[in-house]
Structure 1
Amino acid sequence: MRGKSLVKRAIKGDEEAFLELIHSYQEALYRTAISYVKNEEDALEAVQEVTYRAYRSIKTVKEPAYFKTWLIRIMMNYCLDVLKRSNREIVEESLINRTGVSEDFTYMEVEEALLTLSDYERELLHLKYFEGVKIKDIAVMWNTPEGTIKTRLHKALRALRNNFDEKGDVKRV
């Protein structure tokens, strides 16, 4: 697999391999950042900072197959640190997209419902459904049994579903 060999080369100090890896994952990094910081400028700054942090600590990657997971985890930790440091509440900027007022009310409802979940539940849902990380990989990354991850994922989805049930938007049996 080409990705693993690139990671191995990057770990050994090959800067070109590292840049190629970062380039291939920059969209995932940006999406992760924007989902936390909610504005383009901060998200771009986060991508830059995480690229630097990843470069600085590339030698700590133990399993090349989990490089993307490792990188996304650095981004999530960085964004959480930024939000804590600024001591601000996540503002509902999902009402505004890059071109103006959003017409997609479903998106806004999902964003609002996600804000009712804990940081852990949001991270778990983000990894699984927005980044497509496998449960097995999340379990390895968080050093938690797969069954526990499945249970927590199920609970997070149930909490999200209950949020919609309370609003009367969706009734499930």
Structure 2
Amino acid sequence: MKRDKTEELLLKARACDGDAFVELMELHKQSMYKVAKAYLKREEDVADAISETILDCFEHLESLRETRYFGTWLVRILINNCNNIRKSNQRTECTDQIEVLSGGGRTDERTRAFLDYLEPLEEQDRLLMILYYVWGFRTREISEILRMKEATVKSRMQRGRQKIKQAFFPMVV
């Protein structure tokens, strides 16, 4: 359903329908937030990455060859923007990697709870979980997005699930 709606909005946006582009971005806003939050800790950086991604998407919408790969394309742009922001932050200041979600109010309870479950994971493993469970990408697609072997994706996801179980359900494991 979401993919059909995305493709419909994408075709309209390519035909210079600004409202369709805005609706397309609204449709993916929550998922973009979760991916950016997995990479970046500060809310300001997350907002910058998302807004830069929206701008890049708007400017380069015509370069997308196949509409069915819009989600993969959007996530790749977002990840690149997150990496650029992290590099920029490393040059200008020593960022605190242990900083947790600030209670800024922009995130809803479900998003906060989801990110809390992912907290025991390393950054890369958090991203894998978000791409798989939030965006619905298959492991093969994730391996293409992150440019790693599919077997690596599968093993990191399995290890991530195990860490979550140990952290939140120690009596079960």
TM-score (norm 2): 0.70
The alignment yields a C-alpha RMSD, in angstroms, of 3.4
Which letter maps to 1:154? K
Q: Give the number of the structure with larger relative contact order, counting CA–CA contacts within 8 Å between residues 6 or more apart.
A: 2
Contact between 1:47 and 1:75, CA under 8 Å: does it hold in 2? Answer: yes
1:74-131 CA-to-partner distances (Å, cap 9, x unmatched) read 11111111112211455212275447xxxx9x966842x422x6x4x55433311343
Shift of 1:134: 2.6
Kept in 1, the 8 Å contact 2:36–2:49? The answer is yes
Residue 52 of structure 2 is matched in structure 1 by 49
Q: Partner amino acid for 2:138?
A: K
Long gaps (5+) in structure 1: none
Aligned residue pairs total 159
Q: Which residue of 2 aligns with 1:16?
A: 19
Q: Deviations over 1:135-154 (max 9, x none)?
A: 3543565677xxx42x1222
8 Å CA contact retained: 1:33, 1:43? yes
Paired AA for residue 22 in structure 1:
M
Tell me the amino acid that sits aligned with residue 20 of structure 2.
Answer: A
Find the counterpart in structure 1 of residue 79 from structure 2.
Answer: 76
Letter of the 2:121 counterpart: L
Contact 2:39 2:82 in 1 (8 A): yes
The 8 Å contact of residues 6 and 21 in structure 1, kept in 2 or not, is answered as: yes
Give, as a single letter, the amino acid of the residue that structure 1 aligns with 2:130.
H
Aligned-partner Cα distance in 1 for 2:48–2:68: 26
Contact 1:66/1:137 (8 A) holds in 2: no
Q: Distance in 2 between matches of 1:54 and 1:122?
A: 24
State TM-score, norm by structure 1.
0.70
CA distance in 1, matches of 2:6, 2:164: 40
Residue 59 of structure 1 and its aligned partner are, at CA, apart by 0.9
Which segment is superposed worse, 51-60 or 66-75? 66-75
Residue 25 (1) aligns with residue 41 (2): no
* Percent identical: 24
What is aligned with 2:100?
94
Structure 2, gaps ≥5 residues long: 106-111
